[in-house]
Each structure stands twice: as structure tokens, then as C-alpha cells.
Amino acid sequence: MEQVVLVIHLILALAIIGLVLIQRSEGGGLGIGGGGGGLGGLATPGGTASILTKVTALCAFGFFGTSLVLGILAGSHGSSKSILDELDKPQSLEITVIDEEGAGASIEIPSAQELPSVPVE
């Protein structure tokens, strides 16, 4: 599900980039809407700008929606445990000591919670 929404999100992002680039800006820009062709009112600068604006707005709405869906899906995958919850668990440390002949011995150092408490006078 998440991969499908992500692909749609990327397609919408590319569509928005393309639609914004082909729209006519105040100075002409990269717009292709000029030159009234033989398509009647559809290819006039005003008609083309209106259609491009509506399609861009529709793609932007879809992009915003997929962003929200991806955010919700990403939030549902995380665990509710905190790193601080791991501090309560006792952990010990194991050290292996190797002498000159290659013989090794393991020493286990208990955690602070496992050490016996000594009363202070």
C-alpha cells in the first residue's frame, strides 16, 4: 500500500513540475500557450492558461493528500517504545582476556543493578 501511494506521490510531483514549467509567465517564460492555433477557443492563451491552472491545482491537491497519507502510514510503522525504556533492563559486560600462549578466559562484569549493595556507616 505504501509503495503504491509513494509512486502516485512521485508522479504527481513530476506532473506539477512539468505543468508549472509549461505555463506562461508574465515575461513569456517557457510557456507554450501562445499563438492561436486551429483548435478554436481551447488553444487560445486564456483557455490554455485556465486548463493548465485547473490541472495544476488538481495535481497539487492530490500531492497534498498523498503527503498526508504517507505521513500517517509512516507514523503507524513506528514502535511506541522509547530508548529510555531500555535503561531499566540490566545489562552485563563480558570481557575475554587472552594470554601470551593464546589461551583465553572470559570475565563477566555484572550490571550496577546486579551488584550487592554495601551499607555505608
Q: For the chain, what's the residue count?
A: 121
Terminal CA-CA length for the chain: 65
Query: Mean of the pLDDT values across residues 20-43?
Result: 60
Q: Are 64 and 5 in contact (CB under 8 A)?
A: no
Q: What does the alpha-carbon distance between residue 101 and residue 58 come to, in Å, rounded to a whole number?
A: 76
**108: part of which helix (H) or strand (E)?**
strand 104-109
Q: What does the alpha-carbon distance between residue 23 and residue 32 come to, in Å, rounded to a whole number?
A: 7
* Residues β-bridged to residue 93: 109
Q: Are 109 and 92 in contact (CB under 8 A)?
A: yes
Q: Are 90 and 111 in contact (CB under 8 A)?
A: yes
Closest of 115, 116, 97 to residue 107, by C-alpha:
97
pLDDT bracket for residue 55 (50, 70, 90):
very high
Tens digit of each residue's pLDDT (9 = 90 or more) over 60-117:
999 999 999 999 998 887 666 777 766 666 666 677 777 777 777 777 766 655 556 6
Q: With a cut of 70, say whether residue 54 has pLDDT above it.
A: yes
Closest of 93, 91, 117, 87 to residue 106, by C-alpha:
93
Q: With a cut of 70, say whether residue 50 has pLDDT above it.
A: yes
